[in-house]
Chains A and B, each alone.
Chain A
Amino acid sequence: MSDYLDRFGRGQSMCHRWPPFAKLFAAIAMILAATCVPITHGPLVGIVACVIFFAHTMARIPLAYVGRRLLFFWPTLFLMAISLPLSQAGQKGWLLFVTILVRGTLSFSTALWLVNVMPFDQLLATLRRLRVPDVLLAILSLMYRFLFVLWDELDRMRTARSARLFRKLTLWKRWRSAAHLVGRLLIRALDRADRIHGAMLSRGWDGRTRWIDSRREDRR
């Protein structure tokens, strides 16, 4: 998972060295542009696309990676968009179809750029300076911390299940076993939350969150 997520976040390109606020607002501005430009204004759409492409190359994000992510992304967007002309028996709705495809692709690649130039801890620090409530950020950082632990747990459970399983199951049994996997993971996660709570208490947790000030790090 770790080579899939956040893969180029620690790079040292020009884009990576921008201040975090600049990155965030540049991305928001680009997404806004991508979703507002009318599709019939071809040159404008082209300019937006070029700027996004340029941002990717400046951040040294390999094109093959972007392409791979887009390959996984397109089918879902395509299914959503194709339902329009399909429901009109192919007569109308093709313009809207193209609009949704282009806008979706552009804003997806902008978000992909942001993900890859802004590591998650930097995003958290930026959100904190934007005065997002502390409770929310505390929960968010805890979630991010234990996400990977739960993924590993899930991997182990899947391995164990396939080690026990020899036959091909019927559809209903596969559903049931997958739902039981969710339930079992839930039980383990809540037990882990109890242990974490205990560990936090023993380290003096009183319900207030304290942050190591990362402001200096951000400026660097």
Chain B
Amino acid sequence: MHIQDGVLSPVVCAATGAISLGAVSYSVHRLKQSVGDRTIPLTGMMAALVFAGQMINFPIGAPVSGHLLGGVLAATVVGPWAGCVAMTLVLFVQWALFSDGGLFALGANVLHIAVIGSWGGHAVRLLVQRLARDSHQGIVIGSVVAAWASVMAAAALFCLEFRLSWLSSEIDFSKVFTLMVSFHSLIGLGEALITGVAISFVLNQRPELICRMGAPVRPDAEMSRSAHPTAAAITRTVIAGLVIALAIAAFLSPFASPFDDGLEAVLNKLGIENFQLTNRVPGLLEDYDKIPVPVAAWQSIAVSFAGIGGTLAVFALAWLLGKALPAAPQQLSEAAGE
């Protein structure tokens, strides 16, 4: 999932690094401003939790398993600023301990997982939550939608960065994007499911943990959170809109290839000639002639499937999880206390 060094070009790494640096500095600034003295232990613990939570495997097929990303989860529990800082530190420690994800690609990884995951995820969740009148169901539905949208937005951004990294390359990138988008819509489904179940579990057992910071279920928390509630709301709506637009762009990216038009036609012809060459080789390469034909059709089918199926699945998921919450979660919290 993490981008390694060498995948993106140094210039793109520098640009994403600068954007992430700005976003994280702003988060640290807001964190310092908002602080009670408990922020530091809470954020540190949240970062450690996300790190440990990524060790939990979610089986997909026999050898393949996925894990939590955690941006939306962190933002839901400790708020967007602390969540962004915690996720950034998780990514940094993953590099420093496991050398997982590159050093120069750290900027891109932070942008995708920490900034989009926490800021964007928080904005989307609040938007959905408001629509559901701040109920517990609203929190769960909002976090499911936010988790999925943030993964898709990250995928769209990655496609863009990848394209900009290899401008001079002769590859038809729209097909690469198809693969990326299909792949990420699966990852996004997993992330949405994990985040939703985990949050609804915590809401069942200890609702005050989620409602204590960031999530404005209590009116007093809402009042103290921001001095200019309308300005903050506008900013949030803008960010949420941006993330949703990026998520939609993820589905459009395979269709729109703004950089290569004329060149592509030429290369296609060359490609067909190559393909006829390989056609003469019998045996092992025989399968190749079956691949190129479906690719064109497969592209639009795969994207439509990922788009429509994925969206439907997320909304079904959100609805089911919201439905599964009992009407009075408070009663359970005493029984479950350890």
Show the binding face of A for B, using Cβ within 8 Å.
5-6, 27-28, 31-32, 34-36, 69, 73, 76-77, 80, 83-84, 86-93, 96, 99-100, 102-104, 106-108, 111-112, 114-115, 120, 123, 133, 135-136, 138-147, 149-151, 153-154, 171, 174-176, 178-187, 189-190, 192-193, 196-197, 200-201, 205-207, 209
Find out whether the CB atom of B201 lies under 8 angstroms from the CB atom of A139. no
Q: A194 to nearest B CB, angstroms?
A: 8
Docked complex: B1-27 residues within 8 A CB-CB of A: 1, 4-7, 10, 13
Q: A153 to nearest B CB, angstroms?
A: 8
Find out whether the CB atom of B4 lies under 8 angstroms from the CB atom of A107. yes
Is residue B227 within 8 Å, beta carbon to beta carbon, of the partner chain? no
Is residue B148 within 8 Å, beta carbon to beta carbon, of the partner chain? no
Docked complex: B141-199 residues within 8 A CB-CB of A: 166, 169-172, 175-176, 178-180, 183, 193-194, 197-199
Is residue B52 within 8 Å, beta carbon to beta carbon, of the partner chain? yes
Find out whether the CB atom of B77 lies under 8 angstroms from the CB atom of A186. yes
Are A185 and B49 CB-contacts (below 8 A) given A92-B172, A112-B99, A179-B193? yes
Q: How large is the interface on B (under 10, 10 to 19, 20 to 34, 35 or more residues)?
A: 35 or more
Find out whether the CB atom of B49 lies under 8 angstroms from the CB atom of A140. no
Name the segment of B35-43, B107-115, B240-248, B255-263 touching the other chain.
B35-43
Find out whether the CB atom of B57 lies under 8 angstroms from the CB atom of A178. yes
Find out whether the CB atom of A205 lies under 8 angstroms from the CB atom of B37. yes
Instruction: Please encode chain B, from 282 to 320, with 1 for each CB lying within 8 Å of some chain A CB and 0 for all others.
Output: 000000100110010000000000000000000000000
Find out whether the CB atom of B85 lies under 8 angstroms from the CB atom of A175. no
Q: CA–CA, A139 to B46, complex, Å?
A: 10
Q: Taking CB as reference atom, which chain A residue is nearest B53?
A: A182
Known pairs A87-B295, A174-B59, A193-B44 / 7 extra A-B pairs, C-beta < 8 Å: A32-B10, A103-B7, A111-B5, A123-B96, A135-B32, A150-B48, A182-B68
Q: Taking CB as reference atom, which chain B residue is nearest A87?
A: B175
Is residue B55 within 8 Å, beta carbon to beta carbon, of the partner chain? yes
Are A181 and B288 CB-contacts (below 8 A) given A93-B171, A133-B28, A187-B202? no
Residues of B within 8 A of A186 (CB): 49, 53, 73, 77, 198, 202, 209
Find out whether the CB atom of A154 lies under 8 angstroms from the CB atom of B55. yes
Is residue B274 within 8 Å, beta carbon to beta carbon, of the partner chain? yes
Is residue B45 within 8 Å, beta carbon to beta carbon, of the partner chain? yes
Residues of A within 8 A of B93 (CB): 140, 143-144, 147
Residues of A within 8 A of B103 (CB): 27-28, 31, 107, 111
Q: Taking CB as reference atom, which chain B residue is nearest A111?
A: B99
Is residue B71 within 8 Å, beta carbon to beta carbon, of the partner chain? no
Find out whether the CB atom of B198 lies under 8 angstroms from the CB atom of A197. no
Find out whether the CB atom of B6 lies under 8 angstroms from the CB atom of A106. yes
Docked complex: B72-109 residues within 8 A CB-CB of A: 73, 77, 85-86, 89-90, 92-93, 95-99, 102-104
Of the candidates B57, B90, B92, B176, the one having the most CB atoms from chain A within 10 angstroms of its own CB is B176
Find out whether the CB atom of B198 lies under 8 angstroms from the CB atom of A88. no
Q: CA–CA, A76 to B106, complex, Å?
A: 17
Q: Taking CB as reference atom, which chain A residue is nearest B58?
A: A178
Q: CA–CA, A104 to B202, complex, Å?
A: 39
Residues of B within 8 A of A178 (CB): 56-58, 194
Find out whether the CB atom of B99 lies under 8 angstroms from the CB atom of A96. no
Residues of B within 8 A of A86 (CB): 179
Is residue B31 within 8 Å, beta carbon to beta carbon, of the partner chain? yes
Residues of B within 8 A of A111 (CB): 5, 95, 99, 102-103
Q: A142 to nearest B CB, angstroms?
A: 3
Residues of B within 8 A of A27 (CB): 103
Q: Taking CB as reference atom, which chain A residue is nearest B37?
A: A207
Query: Out of A35, A180, A185, which one reaches B5, CB within 8 Å?
Result: A35
Q: B177 to nearest A CB, angstroms?
A: 9
Is residue B236 within 8 Å, beta carbon to beta carbon, of the partner chain? no
Q: CA–CA, A176 to B320, complex, Å?
A: 13
Find out whether the CB atom of A142 lies under 8 angstroms from the CB atom of B171. no
